[in-house]
Amino acid sequence: MLSQIYYLLRSQVDGSYISANPNPDEAVKFLLLFREDFDARSYLNTHAPDLSDRFAIESISATQLKTILKRWGFQGVGIIQDPLLPNIEFLIVS
């Protein structure tokens, strides 16, 4: 798990990461993670093709993940299982 590489989508406009808020009544944000870089590109091309040129794909190791979550105020991660549906597994990180 510690050697796992994840891929993130980051805005080239303001530097923010793509996140999800599965319950709009709560202020909980989850950082979206992709297992492969091509999954991140498929997600963008499927769900926001007109905005895909405004995002960059970043790779991070599992050891860097906690730092990013803390710095940006995310409460957990959403691991994309299928970028086309999308099927997302949400995990709260404490």
Paired residues of 90 in beta bridges: 78
pTM, two decimals, is 0.89
Paired residues of 92 in beta bridges: 76
What pLDDT, on the 0 to 100 scale, is given for residue 53? 92
For residue 7, is pLDDT > 60?
Answer: yes
- What is the average pLDDT across 45-70? 93
What pLDDT, on the 0 to 100 scale, is given for residue 2? 59
H or E stretch including 33?
A: strand 30-33
Q: Domain containing 27: what range?
A: 5-92
Buried b (16+ CB within 10 A) or exposed e, 6-39: bbbbeeeeeeebbbbeeeeeeebbbbbbbeeeeb
Total structural domains within the chain: 1
